[in-house]
Structure 1
Amino acid sequence: MITTAPLDGPAVNKAGSPRLLIVEDHPLFRAALIGVIGAEFPEAEVLQATSIDGALDIVAARDGLDLILLDLSMPGTTGLLGAYRVRAAAPRSALVIVSAHDDSRIIGSAIALGISGYIPKSTPKSELARLLRNILEGGISLPTRFRDAAAARKGQADTRELIQRLGQLTSQQLRVLDMICRGLQNKHIAYELDISVTTVKVHVSEILRKLDVRSRTEAIIALSQLDFGKHDHAPTTPARGDDS
């Protein structure tokens, strides 16, 4: 069951048609979301991305996104780090996590990011339409049991300090950090970003300094707080800081 509540401040939706971004790599669920939005908001502009980097490209190119619907299980990112990157790039847009995951720690950490909603993928279409309208009108929608649950508060407390440290990173450093957590070596990161290995090493050094960790492996462990409290996405071989 989902419950809704008003937020302080003005409504998210401005005069005119809403502009929404769907960040979802599964074509069937993406089509289902588009169908719900089209039926409830026939004048809405719906943009689509199938990766975090694609979503960030759209955010950079388009002003005035009212609502971003984001699946947690996206390629090219780990856990909630992708959601954090989108949140940092679009702080004025309502961010809603739409996920198959239903875990207290995940939702608690997501709340700490300042999301406007956490909606299970199993939500019926009619209920989903109502929740989206509430969020566009300035509300917040969370599973009922997490509104004031101790588990949610603990997730927020555990994540808050890490989020403050992540706030010191540039967008490029966040992208490099995401690649580190995926187990990519410096030479692979350099290739993906079309920059030199030396530049990657500079980014890595700054990332470690700002996160107050001594190695890439410690950074991955620290980021596990945004990765569902697990190490599922840690590299299978030790991550080294001096690879080339």
Structure 2
Amino acid sequence: MKDMTDTPSQGAIRSVAIVDDHPLYSDALAAALQLTFPEARVEKAQTLGAALELVDSGFAPDLVMFDLKLPDVCGISGFKRLRAALPDAPILVISSLTSAQVVEALMEDGAAGFLPKDASSQVLRQALRDIAGGGKYVHSGYRGTSITELPDDRIEEAHPKLAELTPQQQKIMKLICAGKPNKQIAYELSLAEATVKAHITALLRRLGVQNRTQAAVLVESAQPATAMGTGEADAQAFLSH
């Protein structure tokens, strides 16, 4: 995270909260931020509880840099609690958990951006530039094609196990990933709802998962957009809390 002095200090970033339980990474991030915003006050917290105490004490940061995996956090609920405590502050999530499902959920819940922890200083600089200017930033590695955007004849490329599904089950899986309920799937495919339920039961068995949510996470987390990150187990754990 060096060579960041050329980042524009637009957006009046006067105070930053770093919420991360790894002291070395937190210190390096603080040093980088001081180079970028030399006048900014930087406060660090190793737990969500400590971060909320900072807020309760009157600290109102212009930017929060937040790690999802904290000792007192279970799933993305920690982010949601911080978002509720600081509704107006942009929160840039920097985490080793890099599932597209998690990134999408964070952005829908109001995150200002997402970066993997192994992002380069140039990428961090761009994220800070965009967020300081009032925009949002998501690393390009998490803007890949979704299964819902793939043609039916290429859907099996999203995950090897999809090749084991019948063409009809692949269509249903695509609609599941798009968030369609059984009734809507039945309507769009001109099937009886009972037939859709039977197909879903069969495809869940083939994919080795227990429900629709796990199936969607399994498929989406294995796409190229998430190749840098963790597997579906972490994604499922975070999205269920």
Instruction: Quote how far apart the aligned CAs of 1:149 are.
Output: 4.8
Change (3 A) 1:147 1:69: same
* Secondary structure, aligned partner of 2:91: strand
- Kindly report structure 1 stretches of 4+ aligned residues shifted beyond 6 Å: 151-158, 231-234
Aligned residues: 156
Query: Residue 117 of structure 2 is aligned with which of 117, 121, 127?
Result: 121
Could you say which residue in structure 2 is the equivalent of 1:87?
83
Whether the aligned pair in 1 keeps the contact of 2:63 and 2:91 (CA below 8 Å) is yes
Three-state SS of the structure 2 residue aligned to 1:138 is coil
Asked if structure 2 preserves the Cα contact closer than 8 Å seen for 1:38 and 1:44, the reply is yes
Determine the C-alpha separation between the residues in 2 that align with 1:117 and 1:72: 13
- How is 1:161-172 mapped onto 2 (pairs within 5 angstroms)? none
Which of the residues 121, 124, 130 maps onto 2:126? Answer: 130
Residue pair 2:92, 2:115 contacting (<8 A) in 1 also: yes
Matched to 1:66, the amino acid is D
Higher gyration radius (CA)? 2
**Within-5 A mapping of 1:1-244:** 13-14=11-12, 18-147=14-143, 149-150=145-146, 228-230=235-237
Distance 1:136 1:112, change over 3 A: same
Using the alignment, how far apart are the partners of 1:66 and 1:113 within structure 2?
Answer: 18
Q: Give ranges in structure 1 of 5+ residues lacking alignment.
A: 1-11, 159-226, 235-244
Amino acid at match of 1:138: G
TM-score where L is the length of structure 2: 0.56
Distance 1:80 1:155 in 2: 20
Unmatched segments (≥5 aa) in structure 2: 1-9, 150-175, 181-233
**TM-score scaled to structure 1, two decimals?**
0.55
Q: CA deviation at 1:64?
A: 3.6
Could you tell me how far 1:150 is from its partner in structure 2?
A: 3.4
| Identity between Structure 1 and Structure 2 (%) | 27
- Matched residues in 1 for 2:236 and 2:128: separation? 28
CA-CA distance at 1:132 after TM superposition:
1.3
Letter in 1 for 2:139: P
